[in-house]
Amino acid sequence: MATQLAEPEASSQASPESVVIRFAGDSGDGMQLTGGQFTLSTALSGNDLATFPDFPAEIRAPQGTLFGVSAFQINFGSTEIDTAGDAPDVLVAMNPAALKTNVGALKPGGLIIADSGEFTKRNLEKAHYAASPLEDGSLAKWQLLAFDISAQTLESVKPFGLGNKEALRCKNMWTLGLALWMFDRDRQPLVDWLNAKFRKNPVLAEANIAALNAGHAYGETAELSGSLHKVHLDPVEAPAGLYRTISGAEAVALGLVMGAKLADLQMFFGGYPITPASSILHYLATMKEFGVTTFQAEDEIAAIASAIGASYAGHLGVTSSSGPGIALKGEAMGLAVMTELPLVIVNSQRGGPSTGLPTKTEQSDLYQAVYGRNGDTPMPVIAARSPGDAFECAIEACRIATQYMTPVILLTDGYIANAAEPWKVPDPAAYAPFPARFLTTRNGPDGTLLPYARDEKGARPWIKPGTPGLMHRIGGIEKNPGTGNLDYSPAAHQAMTDARKAKVDGVAKGIPAQEVTLGEERGKLAVVGWGSTFGPIHQAVRRARGRGLDVSHIHVRHIWPLPENLGDLLRGYERILVPEMNTGQFKTVLRDQVLVDAKPYNKTSGQPFTIAEIEAAIEGALA
Amino acid sequence: MNDMTPIGVTTTLKDWESDQEVRWCPGCGDYAILKAVQRTLPEIGADPAKTVFVSGIGCSSRFPYYVESYGFHTIHGRAPAVATGIKLSNPELDIWLITGDGDGMSIGGNHTMHLIRRNLNCQIMLFNNEIYGLTKGQYSPTSRLGTTSPTTPLGSVDRPASPCAFALGAGARFIARGFDVSKHLPEVLKAAHAHKGAAFIEIFQNCIVYNKDRFEDFAAPKGAEDRQLWLKHGEPMLFGSEKTGGIKGIALDHENLCLKVVDVVDGDWQAAKVIVHDVTNRSVAHMLVELPFGAFPMALGVIYDDPRPTYEDALLGQDATAREGKDTSLAHLLAKGQTWTVED
């Protein structure tokens, strides 16, 4: 699991303990669904896994085109898996465009399974192939298995009398059946799932099951070249307990529910649809019974403003978006800072400025999270490193927000939001509650009310409107320290700016000291990461250490404020390398905050780092 | 129609005055509106602890500081969204939204529209002074054509929006109009408060610094009876006086499907086919808010009032139904879906 930090022997990606398979097809071919179900069956078989769904921004791009290709990659095995894998061992290509856009990533000698039925003249043209690659020898460095999946599928569902289009929709189940055979998987969970999914249309359920069985039978009986054979991967060794798979978006939703519960609050979630953040709102909309109210606002600004209103009224206000939406929320974040109300803001980062790469991943909103507001507007920022970790981070965000009366930003990204991993189901009773407190009587001398008095953490009291005798006014305008009355005198602004900063700086006192994730507490090189680069950094450092290199991995959850010991810890290394999916944002924060010579290693292609890329960067840094 | 019984807390005007120094320009119409509100609140039996004034940015948006209740002075244009979060989190709170023509019709127009469309139970008081006061006199979305201002030195060329027509277009179920110094303002506020749902009140307000006496054409006491049409449910739409050229009324021009002014002879308004105001008639409400001033008097008072279920009742009711009989065990929630067990 991603959270397990044992250090086994360095293993190469090609080791028989793990396999990387990529399903690629038209965006309408159901590849994400195929991948998702393959993931579930993998998890149920006890393998560790990590996935990487990679799909276009268009919902149904024109069929057969290169830009309409949707892919799902999964890395699974009997050892710890932290990334979706650098290069696939197996590529399932449902059409020429899928082959063209994905075959370059396939490992030399890797296996291509192609649906020859889709390699028609027209589809070849759309993929800009002059001749069929299945026939012209251009795929010689890989093993190729091409057969007419389309025809096989049509044949298998014939008895159900479906139209041609509907019948072809079962292709993904045929392919999944073949993949299940290859990896020695039980079909029953899939059969159960199909029966449940098509409960209202049993014919479709039967047709899909027939396609699934036919694909499986094809692997079992067809006389294929030696390239296709059954592979069995033993279950990974994992701590005993109950497991399920979880995506980052689901983990954030569950973590928020858990956090609100621990704070003894109802949750109000104001959101506006945006990729890839919407799924958090989708999940929470089905969790009303856990004290959740969801509100689809008219825009991003209303989403956060309504959440601020909810927090003002005594709920835990939460909002969520992605970079462009977070930009729109900026002014309201300032209001939450000024009024010192708890608020959790989740940013599922995507790529690029403006609309950029809506469905791809990047870590380029770190400056925005830490610095991106007018005025001196400090706000705690935390970052999740994996889908499972997003659960813990969401709880932590709720804790800081309610204990310090402050908005908190939780950073995830498109990769974490969509990716899935096995997750050891936590025991809710194991988490310490942090109940929120509301002021119910006047707190100042001589029966006065001081809405901006501060506790030992620098937090002001939370006063619910509706409380008799505590009527007061708050707002975004500068105020008197104590009474909170409108006051823009020089002394008041100085005192309040200082108080807001001291409060957020003080969050560092309540967070765990930074630990070394892997390796020694001093040495030649520290690779410092944050967020979803955890997997590739961790594996790269593990491999480098396996080769005897003096390198450690440090992964930072608390981006602002940083853990108090981080500076001292980093000064114990000769060199510091910061791999990031941006142009060097955390590197800059580190240089500023702890004054170390952090060196950047950057990638902004919309794709996660591969392990090999970081391994090479480690070698470069040590050279 | 509406239940006008007070909530039942006894207060006086003084109880609604906060200890904050009022900082509007001397002579500003906002003072009169503040007094009208502070006079109305005791009359409706409002409870200061359960009353929340929410505002955006602008001169009018300083209003909450001066009322001894809960108050939230938010950011430019966003008060409706903040109010939505407050009301959904505690529907028992009585919310008064204070906004202006710039705050509510320009930067926050989108939120105003959606608050009205959803029908959140609150009172929306839009102070319309047809100018940006706090930023020193730029023209606003309600400024009349040709308004000269620092940003339109040659006169504005864009046509003004009509707040009441906008609100009605957004689906409002309560529309009223008043003006700052009008003695009728408290009645209008009371009717708005009695309406369950989003109650939209446009209040013409005199900005004595940047748009002085802009509304004198109909608000001036002299000739008011000819230029103001005060609407009352169940009563004929009459204006004018015998002294100033006779009693007149509003009737339907059947041929052109619009309203027309008719003379009422010897008080026989029935003969003149003067319309009896029915606050639930949406078609007439559309015509009233669009009446061109000059040829017609200014339609004031409660123009439209026909409640529908509120947003918070619908949403929270749906949530409550969804919660009925549901398993609320967090342990079960976390373990949802297909699971597997790893043995020791």
Q: Tell me if B116 sits within 8 A of B200, measured CB to CB.
A: yes
Task: Give the residue with greater pLDDT, A42 vs A253.
Answer: A253
Which chain B residues are closer than 8 Å to A268 by Cβ?
Answer: 85, 88-89
| pLDDT tens-digit map of B58-77 | 999 999 999 999 999 999 99
Residue A1, pLDDT score: 39
Residues of B in Cβ contact (< 8 Å) with A289: 322-323, 326-328
Q: What is the pTM of this model?
A: 0.92
Contact list, B97 vs chain A (CB under 8 Å): none
Q: Which string of DSSP letters, residue by residue, matches A174-222? A: HHHHHHHHHTT--SHHHHHHHHHHTTT-HHHHHHHHHHHHHHHHHHHHS
Of A257, A299, A313, the CB nearest to B333: A257
Contact flag B315-A293 (C-beta cutoff 8 Å): yes
pLDDT exceeds 60 at position A328: yes
Using CA atoms, how far apart are residues A91 and B44, in angstroms rounded to an integer? 72
Phi-psi region of A433 (alpha: psi -120 to 50; beta: other; left: phi over 0): beta
DSSP assignment of A353-393 equals STT-BTTS---TTHHHHHH-SSSS----EEE--SHHHHHHH
Check CB contact under 8 Å for B82 and A238: no
Inform me whether the C-beta atom of residue A290 falls under 8 Å from chain B C-beta atoms. Answer: yes
CA distances from A614 to A140, A164, A538, A602, A603 (A): 29, 47, 9, 10, 10
How many angstroms separate the CA atoms of A46 and A255, rounded? 24
DSSP state of A474: E
The distance of B184 to chain A (nearest Cα, Å) reads 28
pLDDT at A10: 35
List CB contacts of A199: < 8 A, sequence separation 6 or more: A205
Q: Can you tell me the distance from the alpha carbon of A137 to that of A512, in angstroms, rounded to the nearest whole number?
A: 58
Helices A300-312 & A323-339, crossing angle to 10 degrees?
Answer: 30
Q: Is the Cβ of A554 closer than 8 Å to some Cβ of chain B?
A: no
Best CA proximity match to B56, nearest among A335, A81, A441? A335
Nearest beta carbon to residue B86 from set A312, A472, A474: A312
pLDDT digits (tens, 9 = 90+) for B12-56: 999 999 999 999 999 999 999 999 999 999 999 999 999 999 999
Beta-bridged to residue B246, according to DSSP, are B241
| CA separation for the pair A602, B54 (Å, rounded) | 46
Contact B49 A238 (CB under 8 A): no
* Residue B102 binned pLDDT confidence (cut-offs 50, 70, 90): very high
* CB-closest option in A257, A288, A310 to B85: A310
Predicted pLDDT of residue A227: 57
Compute the average pLDDT of residues A246-250: 95
C-alpha closest to that of A555 among A537, A575, A582, A571: A537
A237, pLDDT greater than 90: no
Q: What band does A5 get if pLDDT is binned at 50, 70 and 90?
A: very low
Instruction: Determine the Cα–Cα distance for residues A360 and A414; give it in Å rounded to an integer.
Output: 6
Predicted confidence at residue A9, as pLDDT, reads 35
For residue A241, the distance in angstroms to the closest alpha carbon of chain B comes to: 5
- Proportion of chain B above pLDDT 90, given as a percent: 94
| SS3 call for A113 | strand
Compute the average pLDDT of residues A293-303. 98
- Find the CB nearest A43 among B64, B85, B340: B340
β-bridge pairing B246-253 and A407-413: unpaired
Q: Is the pLDDT of residue A342 over 60?
A: yes
- Calpha distance B71→B48 (Å, rounded): 10
Q: For an interface test with B, which of A286, A471, A479 has the most B Cβ atoms less than 10 Å from its Cβ?
A: A471
Q: Is A341 part of the contact surface with chain B (CB cutoff 8 Å)? A: no
Of B217, B221, B272, B220, nearest in space to B246 by CA: B272
Measuring CA to CA, how many Å separate A511 from each of A216, A557, A566, A595, B110?
51, 10, 12, 21, 41
Chain segment B197-223, per-residue pLDDT in tens: 999 999 999 999 999 999 999 999 999
CB contact under 8 A, B84 and A295: yes
Check residue A226 and give its pLDDT.
57
Nearest CA among A471, A415, A422 for reference residue A442: A471
Separation between Cα atoms, residue B334 and residue B319, nearest integer Å: 21
Contacts of A477 in chain B (CB under 8 A): 73
Query: Residues 176..215 of A with a Cβ closer than 8 Å to B: which?
Result: 189
Instruction: Return the residue of B nearest to A44 by Cα.
Output: B340
Q: Which of residues 460-519 of A touch B (CB under 8 A)?
A: 464-477, 485-486
**A589 and A366 in contact (C-beta within 8 Å)?**
yes
Q: How far is CA A425 from the centre of its chain?
A: 18
Let me know: does A599 contact A522? Beta carbons within 8 Å: no
Q: Tell me which chain A residue has its CA closest to the CA of residue B53.
A: A473
* Angle between the N-to-C axes of helices A149-157 and A171-182, in degrees from 0 to 180, rounded to the nearest 10: 110
Substitution target in B59, B75, B134, B328 with the highest count of A β-carbons within 10 Å is B75
- SS3 sequence of A430-458: HCCCCCCCECCCCCCHHHCCCCCCCCCCC
What is the model's pLDDT at position B343?
A: 84
Burial class (CB in 10 A: 0-12, 13-18, 19+), B292: exposed
pLDDT for the residue A11: 35
Cβ–Cβ gap A313/B89 under 8 Å: yes
Reading the block at residue A527, the tokens are 């690779």
Give the distance from residue A191's alpha carbon to the nearest chain B alpha carbon, in angstroms. Answer: 13
The predicted model gives A402-430 an average pLDDT of: 95
Find the CB nearest A485 among B20, B74, B80: B20
Residue A289 distance to chain B (closest CA, Å): 4
CB A63 within 8 A of CB A28: yes
Q: Flag if A238 and B50 touch (Cβ within 8 Å).
A: no
Q: What SS3 state is found at A300?
A: helix
Closest Cα partner for A413 from A555, A580, A277?
A277
Tell me the C-alpha distance between B174 and B189, whole Å. Answer: 11
Confidence band, pLDDT 50/70/90 cuts, at residue A28: confident
CB contact under 8 A, B89 and A245: no
Q: Which residues of chain B have a CB within 8 Å of the CB of A467?
A: 49
pLDDT tens track for A560-576: 999 999 999 999 999 99
- Cα three-residue angle B13-B14-B15, rounded to 5 degrees: 90
B7 CA: distance to closest CA in chain A (Å): 14
A426 vs A396: CA distance, rounded Å: 15
**A310 to chain B nearest CA, in Å?**
4
Provide the residue type at A560 as one letter.
W
Rounded Cα distance between A51 and A72, Å, is 7
Per-residue confidence at B8, pLDDT binned at 50, 70, 90?
confident
User: What is the distance in angstroms between the Cα of A14 and the nearest Cα belonging to chain B?
Assistant: 26
Task: Indicate the pLDDT class of residue A7, thresholds 50, 70 and 90.
Answer: very low
Whether omega for the bond prior to residue A276 falls within 30 degrees of 0, making it cis, is yes
Q: Any chain B CB within 8 A of the CB of A433?
A: no
What is the distance between the alpha carbons of residues A611 and A614, in angstroms, rounded to a whole number?
Answer: 5
* CA nearest neighbour of A503 among A356, A386, A401, A357: A401
Q: Which of B47, B65, B72 to mutate to test the interface with A (most CBs of A within 10 A)?
A: B72
Which of A145-172 are b and which e, b meaning 16 or more Cβ less than 10 Å from the residue's Cβ?
A: bbbebbebbbebbeebebeeeebbbbbb
Whether omega for the bond prior to residue B6 falls within 30 degrees of 0, making it cis, is no
C-alpha separations of B234 from A94, B231, B310 in Å: 72, 9, 25
- pLDDT of res. B161: 97
Which residues of B fall within a CB distance of 8 Å from A241? 341-342
Residue given tokens 């009446």 in the structure block:
B291
Token duo for residue B319:
């949530």
Residue A379: name the closest of A329, A437, A431, A309 by CA: A329
Segment holding A540, helix H or strand E = helix A534-546
Are B338 and A244 inside 8 Å of each other by CB?
yes
**Do the Cβ atoms of B293 and B229 come closer than 8 Å?**
no
Read off the tokens for B35: 């007094």
Give SS3 for A244. strand
With CB atoms and an 8 Å threshold, state whether A471 touches B341: no
Strands B94-100 and B51-55: parallel
Q: In whole numbers, what is the pLDDT of chain A averaged over residues?
A: 93
The yes-or-no verdict on residue A419 having pLDDT over 70 is yes
Min Cα separation B206/chain A (Å): 25
| Higher local confidence (pLDDT), A545 or A227 | A545
Average per-residue pLDDT in chain B? Answer: 96
Contacts of A297 in chain B (CB under 8 A): 81, 84, 114
Give me the mean pLDDT over the A531-559 stretch. 97
Mean pLDDT, rounded, for A227-248: 85
Number of Cβ within 10 Å of residue B49's Cβ equals 18
3-state DSSP percent of chain B in helix, strand and coil, to 5? 30, 25, 45
> Which among A286, A287, A289 is the top mutation candidate for probing chain B, defined by the most B β-carbons within 10 Å of its own β-carbon?
A289
**Exposed, middle or buried by CB within 10 Å (0-12, 13-18, 19+), for A196?**
exposed
